[in-house]
Amino acid sequence: MNISPLTIYLWQLADNVISALGPVSVFSALVALASAAFWGCSYYEYATSAAKVAEGRDYKDEMTSSLGACTLSRRSSYLTSIVFLLSTAGFIFTPRSNTIAMMVIIPEIARSKVVQQDLPDIYNAAVKALKDQLTK
């Protein structure tokens, strides 16, 4: 296998991607929690405004703005939750550059003729020398 400079560059980018996804994950989690809290508050305001309108009071403008805030916060909560899930998955499942190198380089080393022909002789000589040292 011929390892191109582009492959090496992409290996190095893996660590940068992991470093970038960590803070994105934390920030999106905080924004999702804030959006969910705002969604709850705006839904409460919408429900109380709807109850006041049902009683005959004139709160339609307040009810409309509460409904808009509720919709906006609900959508931002969904969006940031999706960003959180994707960034966390990317942070967890993106392999480090040394792991990628091991997945590509070690099989190539094991398939090389030098390892398959010369290494067994060197290994057997080392084992024999070790056994001779232990029997003395």
Mean pLDDT of 61-83: 77
End-to-end C-alpha distance for the chain, whole angstroms:
46
In whole angstroms, what is the distance from residue 87 CA to residue 73 CA?
21
Phi, psi of 34 (to 5 degrees): -65, -40
As for how many domains the chain has, the answer is 2
DSSP 136: -
Contacts of 100 (CB under 8 A, 6+ apart): 11, 14
In whole angstroms, what is the distance from residue 23 CA to residue 26 CA?
5
Q: Could you tell me the residue range of the domain that residue 125 belongs to?
A: 98-136
Residue 59 has pLDDT above 70, yes or no: no
Residues 74, 105 within the same domain: no
Angle (CA) 15 19 21, round 5°: 115
Contacts of 43 (CB under 8 A, 6+ apart): 66, 70
Q: What is the pLDDT of residue 45?
A: 73
Q: What is the pLDDT of residue 86?
A: 92
**Tokens 């057997």 sit on residue:** 124
Residues 61, 118 within the same domain: no
Task: Evaluate if pTM is beyond 0.75.
Answer: no
Residue 67 has pLDDT above 80, yes or no: no
Residues 117, 88 within the same domain: no
Q: Residue 99 corresponds to which tokens in the numbers above?
A: 């792991």
Residues 89, 125 within the same domain: no
Note whether 108 and 1 are within 8 A (CB). yes
